[in-house]
Amino acid sequence: MISEQVGAEPKKKASLFTVLRENSRAQGLFLISPTNIYLFLMVVLPLILVTGLSFLSRGAYGQVLFRFNLTNYTRLFDALYGKVMVFSLGIGIGTTLICILVGYPLAYFLARAPARQRSLLLFLILLPFWTNFIIRIFAWMIILRSGGLLDTILQWLHITQAPLNLLYTPTAVLIGMVYEFLPFMVLPLYTSLEKIENSLLEAAADLGAPPWKAFLRVTLPLSVPGMIAGTILTFIPAMGMFVVPDILGGAKTILIGNVIRNQFLTARDWPFGAAASMVLMIMTMVLTLYYTRKAGFGEELLV
């Protein structure tokens, strides 16, 4: 409200200035309003538009008709798209689980590494991910191609005889996704593990717990917040991903992200694409809320 008065009249400027000087609420509002206005226009309003759009109909030429329609939502659960939804969930869950399995020991290693080396080791994990995302996925395309690098190496080692034909399969998509999201799992896990006091483990040992039991009863439960933060950071982007399936999955691997993209750019059924977006958003939000309420975390997300 105050910021609206800024350019109004030169006379009021002086009074605004005094208000800003003396009133700390006015100062706060002045500082936050550019963000509020910008994000309302560019984030909230567009999302409201998409919500409305998802209840409209598509015309014969791909235009949007202002006719109320719920079939956009029911269509998402028919045989064809229901399969895509299940498959997307599968890839999302699979990516997250593999990231936990691969990332947990690494995070544990980082938490146990000598303090002097730790920041360097963390930096080394992040370093490759500052390069371009498309480039990294392209590298996997080279590696996984039929007769490509992986095939060549495996055949040279006499592990396989024929090409594996990995590229353009769900496996390739999974590999690319895990590669892409592993750091998002490792970092929050590391933050949780690093905070665990060594005295707790010593106490467990003093009370007669063998190391594996101490791990299961002390370390693992205490690292749950990190695991949840990592799950949110991997699952949400994995669910909406369409670039990895596009490059590594070929025509057969279609995720919900691909469906949304296609509806907006090739099939030109915007209302249906909007409905798919709403469902994706609601699924990820419900999950996020459920887990954040359950585990109450904060700083794990902020690494």
Of residues 44-103, which lie at the interface with other proteins (CB under 8 A)?
44-47, 49-50, 53, 102
Q: CA-to-CA distance for 204 and 127, rounded, in angstroms?
A: 37
114 binds other proteins (CB under 8 A): yes
Q: CA-to-CA distance for 192 and 13, rounded, in angstroms?
A: 50
Residue with Cβ nearer other proteins (79 or 123) = 123
Q: CA-to-CA distance for 13 and 11, rounded, in angstroms?
A: 5
Residue with Cβ nearer other proteins (170 or 256) = 256
247 binds other proteins (CB under 8 A): yes
Contacting residue, 14, 79, 115, 159, with other proteins by CB under 8 A: 115
Shortest CB 273 distance to other proteins, Å: 6
Measured in whole angstroms, how far is the alpha carbon of residue 267 from the centre of its chain? 26
Exposed/middle/buried for residue 248 (C-beta within 10 Å: 0-12, 13-18, 19+)? buried
Q: CA-to-CA distance for 231 and 239, rounded, in angstroms?
A: 12
Joined together, the tokens standing for residue 11 give: 């006379």
Contacting residue, 3, 16, 19, 29, with other proteins by CB under 8 A: 29
Shortest CB 124 distance to other proteins, Å: 7
Question: Rule CB under 8 A: which of 252-271 touch other proteins?
Answer: 257, 260-261, 264-265, 270
Residue where the block lists tokens 């958003």: 281
Shortest CB 137 distance to other proteins, Å: 8
Shortest CB 193 distance to other proteins, Å: 6
Residue with Cβ nearer other proteins (170 or 263) = 263
Question: Rule CB under 8 A: which of 134-193 touch other proteins?
Answer: 134-143, 145, 147-149, 152, 179, 182, 193
Q: CA-to-CA distance for 303 and 301, rounded, in angstroms?
A: 6
Alpha-carbon distance values, 244 to 4, 30, 56, 63, 258 (Å): 45, 42, 30, 29, 10
Joined together, the tokens standing for residue 85 give: 């939804």
Contacting residue, 285, 286, 290, 294, with other proteins by CB under 8 A: 285
